[in-house]
A and B are shown apart, each in its own frame.
Chain A
């Protein structure tokens, strides 16, 4: 029983981590039909910001990580994505692929490709007992942080003027502009939000693994991408749900598979994804207005 609850909590915590990552990607896809590979580098750079600020008070480190991720998100938007705003999605995808590798290779050039240990917030590694079940504090924190961010984001999108504009832009960008939505501002805010989400994911993953390395972001993002695709590209609920399912499924498989098949768990998840897509090519929650009406 205890093991079952532990596995379940683990699955939920990893699932919410991927849901956050997928949300960051989904936000950007919503407003500009861009699949942002460089989202991974936002996560990586935020982690290296933590490394650079190590030793300072925790709030300063967290603030530093958020500032770096948001600044990088805004810079990449301005330099690489804004000039291509009217380009087709494949051109945008290539651009973000190039940005991602540029940042990754630049990081390797400056700090080297070896992974570095970073003992960030070691107290979160402790176990606590809740109703007789021992759980890791970090997992509870991950679930709580994700829940808070999810609620905050929902509130922002539903109840603020800017959030309304963002949803309008995601629905029909041209129409939103005609009605007075400022494209540059809405897109910049979306990128800033994705930066904040990336920073949160970065801090949680650093606490969990205790290391930073230049490829850490890309590994997360590839799995989150798959999450956004099965959730239904262009739908934020779909992105969160898809990311959550992919993350949770990989943990459950880890627990259920016989030991010699465990290393293949991501492969199993992706095969399951391919099967889902066979029956629902538009994803679990298809976005409206994604397919061009003629």
Chain B
């Protein structure tokens, strides 16, 4: 992976150093603002896009800084979704769907924000426990192990009928996530990811990404810093899961498995896994592209006939783009760089 331009920014003043953050926040806020004038259908798509952005930024915090690919972050999304759903659903609804729930949770009816934060924290705690053994593995083995985490979460959540409803959907959770809630969390996620990657711990982790042996020789505790990144990454992923659940108003374990993993990983790879700019760019570009492909799948009205692509063609194209990117531009659209201060020395 190309070394990021992190050190260069430190030679300038504080504003140029914060520039990637400011620029990304402004771009995302602008996109959301313009979407708020669009028809309701498009607004909902934009909301979904912002939720995906939170998920991609969450994945980036670990993958981008450690260089280790994680397939397990969707499992943390699922944990966040279920915890928040269980804490915020009306006790009457829970009595219907989950009659065997332990009393403490059965009677809980938390405010949505508290439920969301609990969801994110639960995901972080799970990541800490899971990460303790997994972060000791070498790069590729760790990636495979995170895939196992995804499978385990899917099996457990899909069969723990007393608490999650198993294969049945959890319905009737407050669908409070609109464009502005999603925007707020998206901005927060970008800030958290940026602040984290400016810390000493993240810098040490990126050193290990470039050369693990050299970093270890220089005294970097790779396992420890990977674990820190993994937990923060899971926190953001958990929040993304919370948002998705309360956006759809329904939690299904199927929604938190391979297809979502593929989508989130593809976004990060296409945007560029080496920088926060890449993560945001991937989420935005793929959201726009998915919308265009959806239009093509629906088809265009030409005279009396509709010409449309068969459903499912969008997924094939997305996979193909991801493949072409990794073959010809392995660091993604952003090329491992952050946005740079365009106004000369500050």
Contacts and interface: CB of A to CB of B under 8 A. Distances in A.
The judgment on whether A and B are partners is yes
Interface of A: 33, 35, 80, 83-84, 87-91, 93-95, 97-99, 101-102, 105-106, 108-109, 215, 218, 222-223, 225-226, 228-229, 233, 263-264, 266-267, 270-271, 273-275, 277-278, 281-283, 291-292, 294
Given A105-B319, A278-B136, A90 B151 contact: no
Nearest to A84: B327
Contact of B140 (A83, A84, A89): A89
Contacts of A277: 133-134, 136-137, 141, 145
Interface of B: 1, 67-69, 71, 130, 132-134, 136-141, 143-145, 147-149, 151-152, 155-156, 159, 213, 258, 262, 265-266, 269, 310, 312-313, 315-316, 318-320, 322-323, 326-327, 330
B155 to A, nearest CB: 5
A87 to B, nearest CB: 7
Contact of A108 (B144, B149, B312): B312
B330 A91 contact: yes
B139 A90 contact: yes
A98 B139 contact: no
Contacts of B134: 274, 277
Given A98-B323, A281-B138, A292 B151 contact: no
Contacts of A33: 140
Contacts of B152: 266-267, 270-271
Contacts of B262: 97, 101
Contacts of B323: 80, 95, 98-99, 102
Nearest to A101: B319
Contacts of B156: 264, 267
A105 B315 contact: yes
Contacts of A226: 144-145, 148
Contacts of B269: 94, 98
Contacts of B310: 109
Nearest to A90: B69
A35 B140 contact: yes
A21 B147 CA distance: 17
B318 to A, nearest CB: 8
Nearest to A83: B327
A80 B327 contact: yes
Contact of B213 (A88, A222, A292): A292
Contact of A90 (B140, B312, B320): B140
A174 to B, nearest CB: 18
Contacts of A278: 132-133, 136
A246 to B, nearest CB: 10
B68 A90 contact: yes
Select the residue from B67, B136, B258, B327 with max chain A CB neighbours within 10 A.
B327
A228 B327 CA distance: 26
Nearest to B149: A270
Q: Chain A binding site: helix, strand, loop or mixed by DSSP? A: helix
Contacts of A229: 137, 141, 144-145
Contacts of A281: 136-138, 141
Contacts of B213: 292, 294
18 contacts: A90-B139, A102-B322, A102-B323, A105-B315, A105-B318, A215-B258, A222-B147, A225-B148, A226-B145, A228-B144, A229-B141, A229-B145, A271-B152, A274-B130, A274-B133, A281-B137, A291-B138, A294-B213
B133 A109 contact: no
Nearest to A276: B133
A108 B319 CA distance: 13
B258 A270 contact: no
A89 B156 CA distance: 30
Nearest to A261: B159
A270 B148 contact: yes
Contacts of A83: 327
Contacts of A275: 133
B141 A94 contact: no
Nearest to B159: A263
Contacts of A263: 155, 159
Contacts of B326: 84, 91, 94-95, 98
Nearest to A102: B319
Contacts of B138: 233, 281-282, 291
Nearest to B263: A101
Nearest to B214: A294
A222 B71 CA distance: 11
A95 B327 contact: yes
A89 B139 contact: yes
Nearest to A262: B159
B170 to A, nearest CB: 18
A278 B140 CA distance: 16
A89 B130 CA distance: 23
The 6 closest A-B pairs by CB, nearest first: A102-B319, A98-B323, A263-B159, A105-B315, A98-B322, A278-B133
Given A94-B326, A233-B138, A277-B145, 18 more contacts: A33-B140, A84-B327, A84-B330, A90-B140, A91-B330, A94-B69, A94-B322, A95-B326, A98-B266, A99-B323, A101-B322, A102-B316, A225-B147, A229-B145, A266-B152, A273-B148, A274-B134, A294-B213
